């Protein structure tokens, strides 16, 4: 979770942090909070509260997965034995910059 807060902007926004310059909780703080919730039987209460809030706003979440896609750079050369590019590699544009590589998905 600590790494996700530093590396994934959507996780920071969801947790209420503006950016990596905010005082983000470290691994020990996150783990202590989790143990506090579990030790006091609050995980179920927290989930029920969140679901009630969503339902009151006409939303229902039954299951979800968060995916973070990261561009993995690769040289654009065609120096393999077939003198061809890897079919899994593609070009993509991020902002005004073009990249050649593949996409790593983190679930």
pLDDT tens digit sequence for 54-82: 899 998 777 766 666 666 666 666 666 77
The number of CA neighbours under 13 Å toward the Cβ of 92 is 13
pLDDT tens digit sequence for 2-34: 888 888 888 888 889 987 777 899 999 999 999
Three-class SS of residue 103?
A: strand
Cβ atoms within 10 A of the Cβ of 89, count? 15
- Polymer length in residues for the chain: 107
In the chain, domain spans: 2-56, 68-106
pTM: 0.49
């Amino acid at each position: 979770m600590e790494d996700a807060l530093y590396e994934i902007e959507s996780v920071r926004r969801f947790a209420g942090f503006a950016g990596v310059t905010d005082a983000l909780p470290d691994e020990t703080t996150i783990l202590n909070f989790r143990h506090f919730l579990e030790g006091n039987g609050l995980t179920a209460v927290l989930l029920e509260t969140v679901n009630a809030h969503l339902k009151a706003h006409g939303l229902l979440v039954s299951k979800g997965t968060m995916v973070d896609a990261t561009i993995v750079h690769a040289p654009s050369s065609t120096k393999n034995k077939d003198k061809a590019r890897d079919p899994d590699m593609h070009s993509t544009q991020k902002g005004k910059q073009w990249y050649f590589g593949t996409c790593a998905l983190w679930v």
